[in-house]
Structure 1
Amino acid sequence: MNTASFSLIDSHCHPHFPPLGDDRQAVLTTMREHEVSAALAVATTHMEMEAVRGLAKQYPGIFYAACGVHPLSNDTEDDSEAALVQACGGDVLAVGETGLDFFRGQETEAMQRRRFAAHIAAARKLQKPLIIHTRDSQDAVLDMLRAENARDVGGVLHCFTGDAKQARAGLDINFVVSFSGIVTFKKSIAMRDVARLMPADGYLVETDSPYLAPVPYRGKTNTPAYVRYVAETIATVRGQTLAQTAAETSATFNRIFKKSVD
């Protein structure tokens, strides 16, 4: 039993990806050791959706599931609104990750926008929040969220790397920002400034594991347990205790995601 005075939630990870998926018990053990009580497992293709739903079923209250098709995925299965509504029903907490990625995918912009619009429509039909991926596309993503009335369901700007103006724009349309291990990197001064400015109910912490391991594990395989180091950095820049950061982010997670399956 976890007797810690606080517990953390990793709001975005991929524990079904190797090497994490190869040793589930190690993932769970390190989560307990770091006072991480739960994590949202996020699918990026149709094939992954069964895996994250399986995790949520096998470990209720520890792993939750979100289902979507990543903007850069070459998934050839149906990613229409109707197909996504079916895939994201039941105990799936959120639709995504979805969004736009112009860092490597400018040539597929038309396809990405069509896929993104379908995810937003599915989320609105299901009344479930969205998990948004952005890379070199923050303003374009915000424009589409406004145009497609995503405010109705809200959600998370995952792995946020934008500026304070973009963070405020997200808050204005019912989205919160989620900080990953990038916020712990030495050069991420501007991002830490954004974290300091966020309202108590406007941010989350995540790992995006197995990627983006925070300091002191930068360059190594990330795991949901390491969300603690993200939260510790956030607590420091906000001038508050780790317990307070854990309480704020857990409350925000529950507000955004748990209501979708109540």
Structure 2
Amino acid sequence: MTTQEAEMIDKIFGLGDTTVREIMVPLVEVVAVPSTTTPDDAVTVMLERGFSRLPIFRQRVTNLVGVVTAMDLLRRGASVRALEELMRQPYYVPETKRIDDLLREMQRSGVHLAVVVDEYGGSTGIVTLEDIVEQIVGDIQDAHDRAPASMERLPDGSYRVLARTEVDEINKALDWDLPKEDYETVAGLVLASLHRIPRTGEEFQVRGYTITVLEADTRRVVVVKIARTGKPEGG
């Protein structure tokens, strides 16, 4: 058995310890369209983004009510006025569902995209079959790179990091000690440090690290750069 095969088996068994919430695409990052969208406009979005499926919402984005596929649009798009006539019923799953169970359900039912909901029934994100498969094979493709796929090492030794990356994941991968308090992600660390949503280009220090905001909008932090500048005081 090769090292890659052994790692893959370990990851398959490890799926039972991972919940949907840990791997889902958060709702703020989901590209969804209103149910009143025309098929032509939906095709444009798919082509621009490279998607084969689009979640559909009614009235507000937290109310995801359907999914439309590129194949649906190809076969019947010319015969309808709005996506509501084409959309398929979404496959809803709770945030706490284990992804090994979800993988079996998706394989059995032929579903490729599930809508994640919280305890109140509101949509909080989506998870695809590809997301789950990447948990098994994604990191193995970069077996010589210690950084997770959500991180990119830059020439100066710093890292470009998606803000939704978990702090624990970074600390484990890089043997760092970024502070972890009442938040899970790098975005949470930034907001807890600044107590506001930062602007693109802002830079600040936190316990031996310099964090630069590379991309942010009015609601969220998207991408940051993190550089280790030295041991924190008392470390």
TM-score by length of 1: 0.27
Q: Over alpha carbons, which structure has the higher Rg?
A: 2
Which protein, 1 or 2, shows the higher relative CO under an 8 Å CA cutoff with sep ≥ 6? 1
- Structure with more strand by fraction: 2
TM-score by length of 2: 0.29
